[in-house]
């Protein structure tokens, strides 16, 4: 199931469609024209409307709100919303060592993030030490915030 609670300061039909494709149930409240923030919470997408905006903003500032604020960074929001414990699809992983494929002219530096496109990422059964790990919330935040600068 989904593991990371977060919100984004935008609400578009395209974003809601991406979240549905990831397996979220989008509440009908998110489709209203007055919905300004989308929240990803435990497999559901809910919205904050203009009428609730002051209350929500106060909860974020005071620390009562335990959701990660993605601002308007859609890639960060989708990466965090993809974090779950029942599939690897759409989640980010980090290379734990550098990889060279000389014959293909490819080089992947240690610490590079990559997005998994399958349900279960393949592990070599003969290699007891994986060369990557599932990206943490902080690694994802650092990566996508550095991409915006």
**C-alpha span between 8 and 18 (Å, rounded):** 14
User: Given this model, what pLDDT does residue 106 score?
Assistant: 84
pLDDT tens by residue, 31-78: 776 777 888 888 888 888 878 888 888 888 888 888 898 989 999 999
Using the predicted structure, report yes or no on whether residue 142 has a pLDDT greater than 90: yes
List the structure tokens of 72: 């308007």
Model pTM score: 0.85
Using the predicted structure, report yes or no on whether residue 143 has a pLDDT greater than 90: yes
pLDDT tens by residue, 98-107: 888 888 888 8
**C-alpha span between 53 and 66 (Å, rounded):** 16
């Amino acid at each position: 199931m989904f593991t990371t609670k977060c919100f984004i300061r935008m609400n578009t039909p395209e974003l809601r469609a991406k979240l549905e494709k990831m397996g979220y149930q989008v509440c009908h409240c998110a489709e209203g024209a007055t919905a300004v923030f989308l929240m990803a919470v435990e497999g559901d997408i809910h919205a904050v409307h203009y009428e609730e905006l002051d209350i929500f903003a106060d909860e974020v500032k005071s620390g009562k709100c335990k959701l990660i604020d993605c601002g308007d960074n859609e890639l960060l929001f989708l990466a965090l919303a993809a974090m779950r414990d029942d599939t690897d699809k759409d989640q980010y992983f980090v290379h734990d060592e550098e990889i060279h494929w000389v014959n293909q002219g490819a080089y992947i530096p240690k610490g590079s993030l990559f997005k998994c496109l399958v349900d279960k990422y393949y592990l070599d059964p003969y290699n007891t030490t994986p060369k990557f790990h599932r990206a943490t919330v902080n690694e994802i935040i650092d990566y996508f915030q550095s991409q915006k600068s």
